[in-house]
Amino acid sequence: MKPWIRLLPLAVFLFVLPFPGTVALRLLTLALGLIVCAWTWHKQGFASVPAKTALLLWGGCALLSLATAIDPDYSLGEIKNEIGYTMAAYLCFITLTRTRQDANLFVRALILGSLMLGVFALWEHVSSDSAYWNERGLAGGSGSYSSYLLALLPALLWAGCVLPQKHRWSVVSGLIALQLVVAVLAGQRAFWLVFALQALFALYLLRARGFIAISASRVRAIGAAAVILSVLVAVAATLKRDTVGWTQDPRLTIWPAVAARILEHPLTGKGFGRETMKKAYPDLLSQKFPAVWHAHNLFLNYGIAMGIPGMIAILLLFFALLRNFWKLSRAEDRIVAMAGISGVLLVVGVVARNLTNDFFQRDLALLFWAIAGMLLGYAGHAKDAPARA
């Protein structure tokens, strides 16, 4: 079997993942990828899994939440979707991203999918009479799209290292520029603040690891410009969408109320799942703001679902991943080091984005774990290659 054939199901998985309405196809390709992984494990042994202890703690807390769940069937289904499927993707990409050629195929699939999604978004905006984002369009909702970009952009940075030499940075730069234009159309103010944070981390790490040679004063100037520009775009997005101001945001009211409910039963929750708040505490819902049916914060949602142990578990999981990527960013191998830098930006972006909402679900969670597995898988096999030789 040719190498690209065994990777094809996961490449298709990455391509279709951001498109709404592709659940059946993404699960089919993930299942095929697992079959290939099982064959690989049979021949070469089970892959080493980074952050294994934190992952087990996370899964254990989720399963324990079933004992006090207000709707055990719902919570069990959410565990299957948000932990079972995502861990399958994580293991697949750790196992099968072995060489630069493997990484090349996967990042091409990501690039093609993001290019098509960006074109769909632009086409819908141009052909529509409305100045607002089409929340039910081919490109998905504005919140989901902006969250998708914050996970995608670090992977595109790594693509600049693994793609063939000719024109690779031109392709990557052009695609990033296209997606930033689409992000302006999406009008999500949180995106720009998180993007500025990612840009600051990128500047620091790229300079510290020797990828760019610019003075510290220039780094500070570029960083300040990125922050100022992002704040201006965020303010413009607020005015364009006619959303409530920062001080009238309903999340400022719901967060203290949710925290108080968590502290009533700090060691137990009401069952895994984002809809748990709506099921367990309907009195927290607001008729004026019907969109606030969950806490709009990943860690508070985990607190409602699993108590403080669940909040600690997900925090430790992100910390374990961040520590792994930070160590990789110091590697002598330039592609491995860039994988580490991209991984740091991935974790920082996803965590920061989900402080004001909770998009760590379904396709966006699958994308996070797929990219994390790809970066860690390549780095792990690259480090093992000299020993095998």
Answer yes or no: are the C-beta atoms of 305 and 298 closer than 8 Å. Answer: no
Choose among 118, 180, 157: nearest CA to 346.
Answer: 157
pLDDT value at 379 more than 70: yes
pLDDT at 385 over 70: no
Pick the range with the lowest mean pLDDT from 68-82, 96-110, 207-221: 207-221
How many CB atoms within 10 Å of residue 285? Answer: 14
- Taking alpha carbons only, the member of 369, 383, 387 closest to residue 93 is 369
* Residue 357 binned pLDDT confidence (cut-offs 50, 70, 90): very high
Any residues with CB less than 8 A from the CB of 145 and at least 6 apart, and which? 117, 121, 133, 139, 182, 183, 186, 188
CB atoms within 10 A of CB 301: 28
Q: Is the pLDDT of residue 257 over 50?
A: yes
pLDDT category, 242, cuts 50, 70, 90? low
Q: Take residue 296 and report the two structure tokens written for it.
A: 């709009």
Tokens of 194: 């998180």
pLDDT at residue 388 greater than cutoff 60: no
The two three-digit tokens of residue 346, written as one number: 């991935």
- Nearest-angstrom CA–CA distance, 371 and 148: 12
Q: What is the pLDDT of residues 129-176, one digit of tens each?
A: 777 888 888 889 999 999 999 999 999 999 999 998 777 888 899 999
With a CB cutoff of 8 Å and minimum separation 6, the contacts of 363 are 17, 18, 26, 144, 148
* The pLDDT value given to residue 222: 86
pLDDT in tens, 290-307: 888 999 999 999 999 999
Q: What is the distance in angstroms between the CA of the first residue and the CA of the last residue of the chain?
A: 23
**Rounded Cα distance, 47 and 315, in Å:** 24
Q: What is the dihedral angle through the alpha carbons of 320, 266, 86, 72, rounded to the nearest 10 degrees? A: 160
Percent over 90 (pLDDT), the chain = 71
Name which residue leads in pLDDT, 387 or 184.
Answer: 184
pLDDT at 116 over 70: yes
b/e map of 199-209 (b: 16 or more CB within 10 Å)?
A: bbbbbebbbeb
Question: pLDDT tens for residues 1-48?
Answer: 577 789 999 999 999 999 998 999 999 999 999 999 999 998 888 888
> Tens of pLDDT along 336-353?
999 999 999 999 999 999
Question: pTM value?
Answer: 0.94
pLDDT confidence tier of residue 53, bands split at 50, 70 and 90: very high
Q: Are 70 and 280 in contact (CB under 8 A)?
A: yes
Least confident of 41-50, 226-235, 280-289: 226-235
Instruction: Indicate whether 246 pLDDT > 70.
Output: no
Residue appearing with tokens 């003075």: 215
CA distance to 37, 201, 258, 330, per residue, from 204 (Å): 36, 5, 36, 13
Instruction: Give the range among 13-17, 178-182, 286-290, 329-333 with minimum mean pLDDT.
Output: 286-290
CA distance linking residue 292 with residue 250, whole number of Å: 8
Is 128 a residue whose pLDDT tops 60? yes
Residue 360, classified by CB atoms within 10 Å of its CB into exposed (0-12), middle (13-18) or buried (19+), is: buried
User: What are the angstrom distances between the C-alpha of 339 and each of 141, 192, 219?
Assistant: 29, 23, 21
Question: Which residue in the block uniquely carries the two structure tokens 């508070």?
Answer: 300
Mean pLDDT (the chain) is: 91
